[in-house]
């Protein structure tokens, strides 16, 4: 086999993947399309520009040269606080081709979050979109990086440097099992964890879920409302279309019913990827709006469990089927999914080809169908380890199995049904958040003595944070204080983390050792 190539033996199911001994993944997703005569085809569409596969390959090379020319070296980490735009592609693949490790970060976070990840990662460089300067630049203050760039906005920005960089670049030597990129995942203590992914991982998820499960093909147009920094969005909006030579449509701003409907009507995607919270909001908007969704072949959902009610209402309103599944940052993408041929609303579906699943009890023994337990996953796209966190690595990545932290049961037909988290973590809008982080923010208010946060189901059967607070003076309770606490969280945390409900209670239920009994608050 030639260097940097992968062969796909489709005579087997799942297909057998064979990687060249020397394998940098960037050429397989970018340069390959030139040799396959796809250079003139559209790779990326945004409201501002259209980028062909030939232009993408050239700009990836230019970007890799910019990063090396600015002092980064193979093995260095590059933090990306970048919106969904063509520059995200250039940075991500240019880094990998140059041997640099890209680390896309959640663009909804605050300065304190970025400061922690800058420190934790030991990154040598940071690139950020100007839209996020308010949060990124305070985190950068006082820290020395070999490279610190805005993507655009004048002299010395990435866009300006790209125009002057060389347009050829040899792929840095690597193996399929070498570290390639990171994605940060929230932890139960509120501290993010850097999940380290390998060069092979994007090939595995793109082939086994993208091609063999969802059926993504070269004539598809993919639009993901879930952002590229999110493992789910990274596959939907970038790796799946690039793997097969399809087109990716990007929305730079935050997704909402109006913006997503506008993108669908303008760019005519054939595959639309959302999350349950957004589907619920879109359904509400469609009580008055009548968007044209006729181009869409399949809708996909992940990030949090899709209630059967939303599935049924969406089908009734639009005529379209939502294929729900479960994935994780650590597994890179979806590993259990409904499909066009095997579909059961209210479940996460069946195991994706190329993956294995177990449901185990507290002793690690497999349970019978219908019994709930801890969901364990194995597959070749799972992260190798958590950066700088050997204890968490040992607890989560056990003998080749990934402990998802989710409680599930498997029905008699092999469909997996979500029963909730095995810890206190919440998934809000498809993104993990820690109750501890919200509680810490609530008790910053001078009138709050204690706080506890749990998940509560809203009218659309989606989980949102609900706060219970003990006040220093019970007489301070009232709507005004509730508003103050919600605004405190909105201002100090990522916006999706604020508590939708705030209840004042005289005391919090606790164990004899003082641990909050959240299960009592959920009741």
Sequence spans of domains, the chain: 26-173, 434-522
CATH of domain 26-173: 3.40.50.12780
Q: Which residues share a beta bridge with 78?
A: 102, 125
How much is the average pLDDT of 48-63?
A: 98
% of the chain with per-residue pLDDT over 90: 83
Tell me: pLDDT of 134 over 60: yes
How much is the average pLDDT of 15-27?
A: 97
Residue 378 CA: distances (Å) to CA of 186, 330, 399, 413, 432: 21, 11, 10, 20, 21
Q: Comparing 406 with 349, which gets the higher pLDDT?
A: 349
The pLDDT, as a whole number, for residue 511 is 57
Tell me: pLDDT of 514 over 60: no
Average pLDDT, the chain: 94
Q: Which residues share a beta bridge with 410?
A: 416
Contact indicator for 167, 189 with CB cutoff of 8 Å: no
Note the pLDDT tens digit of each residue in 219-263: 999 999 999 999 999 999 999 999 999 999 999 999 999 999 999
The pLDDT, as a whole number, for residue 189 is 42
Contact indicator for 500, 463 with CB cutoff of 8 Å: no
Tell me: pLDDT of 12 over 90: no
Indicate if 434-522 has the same CATH topology as 26-173. Answer: no
Q: Which residues share a beta bridge with 337?
A: 325, 350
C-alpha span between 139 and 151 (Å, rounded): 17
pTM here is 0.88
The pLDDT, as a whole number, for residue 513 is 45
Tell me: pLDDT of 355 over 80: yes
> Which residue's entry shows tokens 């347009």?
167
% of the chain with per-residue pLDDT over 70: 98
Tell me: pLDDT of 304 over 60: yes
The pLDDT, as a whole number, for residue 103 is 98
Tell me: pLDDT of 311 over 50: yes
188 — pLDDT class (breaks 50, 70, 90): very low
435 — pLDDT class (breaks 50, 70, 90): confident
C-alpha span between 77 and 152 (Å, rounded): 21
The pLDDT, as a whole number, for residue 32 is 97
The pLDDT, as a whole number, for residue 186 is 66
Class of domain 434-522: alpha beta
Q: 3-class DSSP state for residue 182?
A: strand
Q: Which of 173-187, 428-442, 448-462 has the lowest mean pLDDT?
A: 428-442
């Amino acid at each position: 086999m030639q260097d940097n190539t992968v062969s796909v033996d489709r005579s087997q199911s799942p297909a057998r993947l064979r990687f060249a001994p020397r394998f940098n993944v960037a050429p397989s997703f970018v340069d390959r399309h030139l040799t396959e005569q796809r250079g003139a085809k559209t790779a990326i569409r945004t409201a501002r520009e259209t980028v062909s596969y030939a232009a993408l390959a050239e700009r990836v090379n230019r970007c890799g040269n910019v990063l090396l020319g600015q002092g980064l070296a193979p093995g260095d980490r590059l933090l990306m606080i970048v919106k969904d735009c063509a520059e995200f592609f250039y940075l991500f693949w240019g880094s990998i081709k140059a041997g640099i490790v890209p680390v896309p970060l959640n663009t909804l976070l605050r300065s304190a979050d970025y400061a922690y990840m800058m420190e934790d990662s030991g990154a040598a460089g940071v690139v950020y979109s100007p839209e996020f300067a308010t949060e990124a630049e305070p985190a950068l203050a006082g820290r020395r990086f070999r490279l610190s760039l805005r993507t655009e906005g004048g002299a010395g920005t990435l866009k300006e440097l790209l125009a002057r960089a060389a347009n050829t670049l040899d792929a840095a030597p690597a193996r399929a099992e070498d570290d390639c990129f990171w994605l940060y995942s929230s932890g139960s203590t509120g501290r993010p964890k850097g999940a380290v992914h390998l060069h092979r991982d994007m090939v595995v998820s793109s082939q086994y879920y993208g091609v063999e499960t969802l059926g993504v093909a070269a004539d598809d147009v993919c639009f993901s409302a879930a952002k590229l920094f999110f493992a789910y969005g990274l596959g939907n909006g970038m790796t799946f279309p690039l793997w097969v030579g399809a087109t990716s449509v990007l929305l730079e701003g935050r997704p909402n019913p109006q913006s997503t409907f506008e993108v669908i009507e303008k760019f005519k995607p054939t595959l639309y990827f959302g999350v349950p919270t957004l589907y619920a909001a879109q359904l509400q908007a469609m009580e008055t709006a009548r968007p044209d969704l006729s181009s869409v072949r399949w809708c996909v959902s992940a990030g949090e469990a899709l209630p059967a009610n939303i599935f049924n209402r969406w089908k009734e309103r639009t005529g379209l089927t939502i294929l729900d599944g479960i994935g994780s940052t650590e597994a890179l993408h979806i590993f259990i999914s409904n499909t066009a041929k095997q579909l059961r609303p209210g479940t996460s579906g069946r195991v994706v080809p190329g993956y294995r699943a177990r449901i185990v009890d507290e002793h690690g023994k497999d349970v019978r169908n219908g019994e709930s337990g801890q969901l364990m996953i194995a597959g070749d796209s799972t992260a190798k380890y958590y950066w700088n966190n050997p204890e968490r690595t040992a607890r989560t990545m056990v003998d080749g199995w990934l402990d998802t932290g989710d409680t599930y049961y498997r029905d008699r037909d092999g469909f997996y049904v979500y029963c909730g988290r095995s810890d206190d973590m919440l998934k809000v809008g498809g993104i993990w958040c820690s109750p501890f982080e919200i509680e810490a923010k609530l008790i910053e208010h001078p009138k709050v003595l204690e706080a506890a946060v749990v998940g509560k189901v809203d009218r659309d059967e989606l989980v949102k944070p609900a706060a219970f607070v003990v006040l220093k003076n019970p007489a301070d309770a009232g709507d005004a204080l509730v508003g103050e606490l919600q605004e405190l969280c909105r201002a100090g945390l990522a916006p999706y983390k604020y508590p939708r409900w705030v209840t004042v209670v005289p005391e919090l239920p606790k164990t004899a050792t003082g641990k909050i009994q959240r299960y009592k608050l959920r009741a």
